[in-house]
Amino acid sequence: MDIKDLVLQTLKENFTDSIIEITDFRNDLSITVKQEKLFELAKFLKENENLLFEMCKDVTAIDWATRKNRFTVVYHLYSFKLNFNLRLKSNLETEPYQIQSVTPIWQSANWYERETYDMYGIEFINHPDLRRMYMPEGFEYHPLRKDFPVLGIPESLPLPQKPE
Amino acid sequence: MGLEAKLTQDGFITTTIDAIVAWARKSSVWPMPMGISCCAIEMIAAADPKYDIARFGSEVMRFTPRQCDLMIVAGTVTYKMAQVVRRIYDQMPDPKWVIAMGACTSSGGMYRSYNVVQGIDQFLPVDVYTAGCPPRPENLLNALMTIQEKISKTRARDFQDIIPQKLELINK
């Protein structure tokens, strides 16, 4: 059986209602999942003996700048057993933009989620240490949001005073 | 050299304190290598035998601000890094000079962005700006020579206010 079919079939058997969309673009499989089911499905992907997606390569987000479905959180997973890459997506529809953290499943997601929180302001529930990654603490904005100006907001970042 | 000839001939020279102090200062400008990004590679190249910054008495690049006269800010300064750069600058003893090396430090360069300081002259008193991305070692040496020229024009009384000012700051 084709690996792609194996993954899809195993997922469909267990999560028929949770999967919103499946796309297969240039041999890259993406699965869009309901926000509240993502954690459960991610745990299943890692622990199922036929799949074993043991590696979380990236967590990031997309800001669509539209009022509905504004953010999409994207997870890139890899299975050593199958030598197969899988992309998980989940739409965040309304404020507050929150999703369950996958750090309890993959430790590597810890800093990825911190980065996504820093840049997009998406809150990861149950994250062990959700602090900013790049921007100084006390900074109030999220720079990769589409409504953030490229040159920043004046006076939002402190500078030392120029000596005489 | 002029000095040796003079000394072997007469055994003494006449000069002013201002002139000899400025001459000594400009001949041993010890840099603080504030290498933050790619400009630092060209700064290192300026210290190698081909360009040889030692010709100007500036080969002593120790990574401590305590013994430095000149800060070479070589690289993109972000808002987060600006605090660090300023803190190191504050630890250098007076009198001190600053070279803004390259486009990023002079004006933000190609990083016209929320996280990069658009010119370090917003928080540091810069003496010489160096063009280039990154500037070639010759360009850095030229900046150093400009600093030397500037130092040779200083007089001792230009700095006499500095220590009382610092004491006042500390007492505050």
CA distance B16 to A123: 68
Q: What is the residue range of A40's domain? A: 3-125
Q: Is A132 an interface residue toward B (CB < 8 Å)?
A: no
Q: What is the CATH number of the domain that holds A8?
A: 3.30.460.80
| A150 with B113: Cβ contact below 8 A | yes
Is A118 within a domain?
yes
Is A148 within a domain?
no
Q: What pTM was computed for the model?
A: 0.80
- Where exactly are the structural domains of chain B? 29-152
Is A142 within a domain?
no
> Can you give the pLDDT of all 172 residues of chain B as single tens digits?
567 777 777 777 788 888 888 888 889 999 998 889 889 999 999 989 999 999 988 888 888 888 898 999 998 999 989 989 999 998 888 888 999 999 999 998 898 888 899 989 888 999 999 998 889 999 999 999 999 999 988 887 777 777 677 777 777 6
CA distance B156 to B18: 5
Q: Is B150 an interface residue toward A (CB < 8 Å)?
A: no
- Tokens for B142? 């030229």
Q: Which letter does DSSP use for residue B122 in this model?
A: G
Report the domain count for chain A.
Answer: 1
The label of the residue with tokens 């808002």 reads B79
Would you state the CATH architecture of domain B29-152? 3-Layer(aba) Sandwich (3.40)
Amino acid present at B52: D
Strands B97-101 and B70-74 come out as parallel
Shortest distance between the Cα of B121 and any Cα of chain A, in A, equals 8
Is A150 within a domain?
no
Are A102 and A46 in contact, with CB atoms under 8 Å apart?
no
Is A132 within a domain?
no
| A150 with B80: Cβ contact below 8 A | no
A64-108 pLDDT per residue, tens: 887 678 899 999 999 998 899 999 999 888 778 889 999 999 999
Q: Which distant-in-sequence residues (6+ apart) come within 8 Å of B44 by Cβ? A: B35
Q: Where are the alpha helices (DSSP H) in chain B?
A: 2-10, 17-26, 39-47, 79-91, 102-107, 137-152, 162-171
| A159 with B117: Cβ contact below 8 A | yes
Give A-chain residues touching B83 at CB under 8 angstroms. Answer: 158, 160
